Structure 1
């Protein structure tokens, strides 16, 4: 009897651009590195930051949800991104979304909390290197100078007229995550590659 089980292989939104990104990165001589970070777990979490649930979630995840606007907290392979006074994006390693959601829900018990898996909504583009800020500044109206947008900062903004969540992790001044909706990822990648030509 034939095996009729269907196996599907997940394909990232920028799988078609992987070779172009790698080739461009090589041509930049270390000034800029571009790559997709596909399939990161992404959970939208909403709760009252003053409630016991917020502290319980922090303990369950091993990092406190940031309460200062436009900031990021990182611990191990987890990143919590401030999106609003009662809203965060928790980003983790690929495939971790069920575990993260379970930990959050178990920690909050009967407290009011909203946890939504939005992993398939966006992909993440890594823009790194000494010229990364200059490249992003070509298409973003934010002041990206390290004094204004240093490590541990984030913003919901537009880059090349595309809505993104821009994140600087807390370890580096020249490494950015650009979280972009999957349907716009190809366009944004083309823009980044074109805007980065001067660094090649």
Structure 2
């Protein structure tokens, strides 16, 4: 019989885990500025992310909502919260549940996706829907500060002005030709979620877009 993997071995393996933009941490820190034109950038690694497919208003959606302890968002740009998750609307029957920051790094994705999927029923008698672990699928960057919106507006064509994009909303859009989720988590705070394979490119683009705000204003 194969030997059981010890908790110590699992802990050592977790210590070797590397986030998609770990190599840019120093560049992110150096790019930050303070003041009226201030902006900061950080990676938020290892968030639990669950892809959910269910048609709103169906028994499948109701089952997932009950297991998640949060309602599914009702339409484009909307988000909901509950049960330790924020749920982002991706499409009419597609959603992304993102775990709270305090559970980042706990590798809850496999167990949580299995738990929610079980709410749909047993194979052969399952409600039409799906829940999958997408925790390794997207990187998460957070831009914050008075100039955060101005940085994003250099590469996003969607109107990010507060009159059109309020705190708590999230959209699927394109940043410098890369598909991303842009999620406004606060009045001056945005999260950008590209596919992990684009994390280095998007991270470097954001650093470059921030350079303007580290230079003194000339009148």
TM over 0.5: yes
* Unaligned residue ranges in structure 1 (runs of 5+): none
Q: How many residues align?
A: 192
Aligned: 1:177 with 2:184: no
1:161 pairs, out of 172, 177, 183, with: 177
- Deviation of the 1:22 alpha carbon: 1.6
1:102 pairs, out of 90, 114, 133, with: 114
- Alignment match, 1:50: 57
Aligned to 1:108, the other structure's residue is in SS state: coil
- Contact 1:42 / 1:91 at 8 angstroms: preserved in 2? yes
Aligned counterparts of 2:111 and 2:87: Cα–Cα separation in 1: 16
- Alignment match, 1:186: 200
Aligned to 2:162, the other structure's residue is in SS state: coil
Larger Rg: 2
TM-score, normalization: structure 2?
A: 0.81
Alignment of 1:73-84 (within 5 A): 73-75=80-82, 77-84=84-91
- Alignment match, 2:46: 39
- Deviation of the 1:76 alpha carbon: 6.2
TM-score, normalization: structure 1?
A: 0.89
Aligned to 2:80, the other structure's residue is in SS state: strand
1:72 pairs, out of 79, 89, 110, with: 79
Deviation by residue 1:110-164 (Cα, 9 ceiling, x = unmatched) = 3122112121121100111111111100111000001111112111111122110
RMSD, aligned CA: 1.8
More strand by proportion, 1 or 2?
1
- Contact 1:72 / 1:167 at 8 angstroms: preserved in 2? no
- Deviation of the 1:91 alpha carbon: 1.0
* Unaligned residue ranges in structure 2 (runs of 5+): 1-8, 215-219
